[in-house]
Structure 1
Amino acid sequence: MPRKSFVPGAALLVTAALAAGLTGCSGGSATGTSGGEGKDGDTTAASQSAQPGRYQTLPEACGLPARSTLRDMLPGDGQPLSPADAQKIYGGRADITYDTDRRVGCQWTRETTAGTRHLTLDIQRVVSYSTAVSDDDRAQELYLTKERAAKIPSAGSGTPSTPASPTDTAKDQQKPTDGATSTGDGKDGAAGGKKTDGATAASTPPATASPTPSDPASDSAPGPGGPLAPRILDGLGDTAFLNDQLITADSGVHRDITVVFRTSNVIVTITYDQWSTDKTQLPESQELQDKARSLAGELADSLSE
């Protein structure tokens, strides 16, 4: 039988076709693998995103302090109060805010023949706008801004915390405002006063001067480094500080106590001041500080429940 003729060109065509098919299969497999790796990367990135803070809502501020606490912080002159007057004093006046899940506040005032006491409470829930920064970390940044502004000495030293640098200040100004605003000016604030850096300004008139440690009018003021001096507080929230200022301006003599503490992504600011009608009677630090710290502890326990 005659053999079939061998055609070299046909063999080459078959070989090329097989090679092309294998190449196509290999390319499809590589594409599928690449897609799978992309999905795995997205999942890993999502799992590494900063965690949200513990608090997603806020309580009603005027109802937080116990009535007994308010009676102690806003003492009278021995005259009994009518039910209507008691409700007016101890019920407080709620701040006006646009979002009560982001910011709430309340103010209390009691006037007597000896003077006036003001109590202001501001509670801010901080939310980070960056997936790389947690709510807690953003809240800590804002807390430190308050601590530096108050020039609180760092723990274990008499040296005030390092003020924020111009670069830090510029960055803070570019960041979104953490908190709801109130009143028509579009800035963080409360009825009765504008808020700065997340804190409610006291409802008292602004002071025009403050005494130095050598000023005779400041004899009862806490000395630098003393147990009543402005300082970092331990055992209150995640971090806290207390500030104490005696003001002897022409507008009146008053002592202002401020306690600020952070717990997770919530910052609480308490402002407690006493105005004296007799300029020779300076408000004492010990009583005011003790009462402000007691309220701060009560609020911290309430928020942790």
Structure 2
Amino acid sequence: MAYAIGAVLIAALAAGCTGGGGADDPGADDKPGIGSESPAPPGKYRTLPDACRAIPRATLKDLLPGTADLPEAQQDKAFEGAATVTYDTDRRIGCRWKSDAPQGTRGIHLDFERVVSYDTSVSDDDRAREVYAKKEGAADLPAPTLPDQSPDASPSGSDTADPGATDTGTPDDDPTDGSDGTDGTGTPGGPASDAPADSLQPRLLDGLGDSAFLDDVLTRSGSTARYRTVSVVFRTSNVIVTVEYTAQPALPTEVPDSAELQEKAQALARQLVDSFDE
């Protein structure tokens, strides 16, 4: 009889330990890291295109004046570009092109960066947003002009005839700054472009990938010559693309046309983002 009572007691204790603790029980101890959380999704892109083949030949002819006049063999060499040295072409790849013409030098630098997150709780896209945000912050873009704010009232006193320019070490009486009766581009008369000066400032861009910005920097090369670099940086999913378009006129008194370079750099960036969507 004592044996039977003991057996019933043991069975009851066993039932109390195993019952009411199923997966649907809100009080169940679901420990993190043991199948409770799925890893963050990977990025859309697992590979990168060949940067030196990313720009159509017709586009290169337009961006690199003078190359179309070269013999075919020299054209082929100019258009094939020079690959950027990287240690992992699956993560980063780039290419450079350059042309020398009587009117000056033009250069293109294209960079593709595929961002991968090594934190399972952070997606590749989120990590790419962080990398892009750092690039945008480093560009130090000016605050956008408010609708009721005149660009001429800018507290920085920058020369609106040369928007987006960062002139290093240029004296106030530099003859290329417009004080000699030119428009700042070495061309007497009106402005180099009909575009409003504030619309050519470094700025965020709409409708280009997931996010994008444009930077425009004018610097000095040597004693008097200037060159301008227009950069367009955009993110599409977990890939960040940088387009740099540079011009240096043959005459030191000329300043590269900001409007022309910006227009062509943006057109190239739009071609590239469309190729990612194909």
Quickly name the TM-score band, shorter chain normalised: 0.7 to 0.9
Structure 2 equivalent of residue 260 of structure 1: 233
> Residues 218 and 246 of structure 1 are in contact (CA less than 8 Å); yes or no, is this contact kept in structure 2?
no
Q: Give 1:248 deviation, angstroms.
A: 2.6
Query: Is 1:94 aligned with 2:83?
Result: yes
What is the aligned-residue RMSD (CA, Å)?
3.3
Query: Is 1:270 aligned with 2:243?
Result: yes
Structure 2 residues without counterparts, runs of 5 or longer: 150-165, 179-183, 186-192
Q: 1:210 to 1:66 in 2, by over 3 A?
A: farther
Q: 1:226 to 1:67 in 2, by over 3 A?
A: same
CA distance in 2, matches of 1:295, 1:94: 18
What TM-score comes out, normalization by structure 1 length? 0.70
What TM-score comes out, normalization by structure 2 length? 0.76
Kindly provide the CA deviation profile for residues 183-219 of structure 1, in whole angstroms up to 9, marking residues without a partner as x. xxxxxxxxxxxxxxxxxxxxxxxx9926599976445
Larger mean CA deviation between 246-255 and 81-90 belongs to: 246-255
Q: Give 1:268 deviation, angstroms.
A: 0.2
Q: Which has the higher helix share?
A: 1
Larger radius of gyration: 1
Structure 1 equivalent of residue 13 of structure 2: 23
SS at match of 2:200: coil
CA distance in 2, matches of 1:82, 1:210: 40
Q: 1:135 to 1:224 in 2, by over 3 A?
A: farther
Report how many aligned residue pairs link the two structures.
Answer: 243
Structure 1 residues without counterparts, runs of 5 or longer: 1-10, 159-206
Query: Is 1:135 aligned with 2:124?
Result: yes
CA distance in 1, matches of 2:172, 2:47: 43
> Residues 52 and 95 of structure 2 are in contact (CA less than 8 Å); yes or no, is this contact kept in structure 1?
yes
Kindly provide the CA deviation profile for residues 15-64 of structure 1, in whole angstroms up to 9, marking residues without a partner as x. 23320233234435578879x97599844411xx3221111111111111
CA distance in 2, matches of 1:70, 1:146: 26
Q: Give 1:97 deviation, angstroms.
A: 2.2
Q: 1:150 to 1:215 in 2, by over 3 A?
A: farther
Structure 1 equivalent of residue 160 of structure 2: none
Structure 2 equivalent of residue 80 of structure 1: 69
Indicate the percent of aligned positions where both proteins have the same amino acid: 43
CA distance in 2, matches of 1:148, 1:212: 29
Structure 1 equivalent of residue 50 of structure 2: 60
SS at match of 1:280: coil
Match of 1:235 among 207, 213, 224: 207
